[in-house]
Amino acid sequence: MADIISPDPRSENAPILLPAGSVLFGLLTFAMMDVAMKSLSIELGAYNAILWRVLLALVIVSLVFFARRPRMPGKAARKVHLQRGIIIVFMSYLFFWGLARVPLAEAIALSFIAPIIALYLAAVFLGETIHRNAIYASALGFAGVLVIAWGRASGTFEKEALLGIGAILVSAVLYAGNLVIQRQQALLAGPIEISFAQNLVVGASFLLLAPFFAVVPDMQSLPYIGAAALLSIISAVFIAWGYARAEAQNLINLEYSAFIWAAIFGWLFFREPITLTTVSGAAMIVIGCILATRRDRKVAHIETTAV
């Protein structure tokens, strides 16, 4: 679901307005993709929603990938592509399964916990030091999760919604692992190859279960599938363009605008109310994420991609 993009050294003195606008537009289109995927997950189930979107995205990305006459990835690159692709299989299914059961804004807010979890995974697998800010951030982020879960559990008890929250949190843990692996992947392959590889691995994995779970979508679902595939690719292109032209430290906090789009689209398309507990919990998680990255070092950008 993500690639690490290092900004062009020549971009340090470039105007920030155009790159920021490009990133914001990319985040907007990604939120629109979530709307299409939520609708598909409700109608077809998470498995079929992901299956058909990924297969269509694979066709589109393949045309770009093979038009460049690429070289065969090396053994190390193939290994990382496979590892990350398998993680994305479970991560994406759990997220969209949960998305069909909780409001869009809540799902996005809960997913923000992933960068904090990634700090601890990086310490375990990459030997990175856990700074004091990371400990404070994790406590604040966890408190934010509890606030959102408490708001969902209070009042009318909805077991499906609580299961959805659990699925999204497990997905966030997997996404954090995905962030750690992709650091190595970005050193071995370019964005187009990475996008092609992860769509290929995810698509092939879901096809293995097609004889048991696949359902041919009806005509009404086809526009949503096409929109989800195209929007995911458009989002990746605009976010990559922006981060190639400005430093990540100047753009990274724009990522949290996704919560605003999710809240607006959730209300417009699904009539999902914006609760005080959701806003409060999201604010705590976002502050925790910002606190975790407050160190004098360049922060790698997390770019959502077409999976």
3-class state of residue 304 by DSSP: strand
Taking residues 7-11, what's their average pLDDT?
Answer: 46
Instruction: For residue 9, give the H/E element and its range.
Output: none
Q: Mind spelling out the 3-state secondary structure of 67-130?
A: HCCCCCCCHHHHHHHHHHHHHHHHHHHHHHHHHCCCCHHHHHHHHCCHHHHHHHHHHHHHCCCC
Are the C-beta atoms of residues 216 and 43 closer than 8 Å to each other?
Answer: no
pLDDT class of 29 with cuts at 50, 70, 90? very high
Q: Choose among 28, 177, 172: nearest CA to 111.
A: 172
Residue 91: the pLDDT is: 94
| Pairwise CA distance, residues 126 & 150, whole Å | 34
Taking 90 as the threshold, does the pLDDT of residue 273 lie above it? no
User: For the chain, what is the mean pLDDT?
Assistant: 82
Window from 181-190, 229-238, 242-251 with minimum mean pLDDT: 242-251
Buried b (16+ CB within 10 A) or exposed e, 103-117: bbbbbbbbbbbbbbb
3-class state of residue 5 by DSSP: coil
3-class state of residue 16 by DSSP: coil
Taking residues 261-287, what's their average pLDDT?
Answer: 88
Residue 111: the pLDDT is: 87
Are the C-beta atoms of residues 58 and 200 closer than 8 Å to each other?
Answer: yes
Count of other CB atoms within 10 angstroms of residue 152: 22
In this predicted model, which residue has the larger pLDDT, 142 or 42? 42
Residue 153: the pLDDT is: 67
pLDDT class of 168 with cuts at 50, 70, 90? very high
- State the Cα angle at 193 between 188 and 196, rounded to 5°: 140
Reading the block at residue 24, the tokens are 């914001």
| Pairwise CA distance, residues 219 & 57, whole Å | 18
Reading the block at residue 133, the tokens are 């800010």
User: Which string of DSSP letters, residue by residue, matches 30-71?
Assistant: HHHHHHHHHHHHHHH-HHHHHHHHHHHHHHHHHHHHHHT-PP
Taking residues 55-82, what's their average pLDDT?
Answer: 89
Are the C-beta atoms of residues 41 and 253 closer than 8 Å to each other?
Answer: no
Sequence letter at residue 219? M
| Pairwise CA distance, residues 147 & 194, whole Å | 36
Window from 30-44, 163-177, 271-285 with minimum mean pLDDT: 271-285
| pLDDT digit string, tens, across residues 192-238 | 888 888 899 999 999 999 999 999 999 999 999 999 999 988 887 78
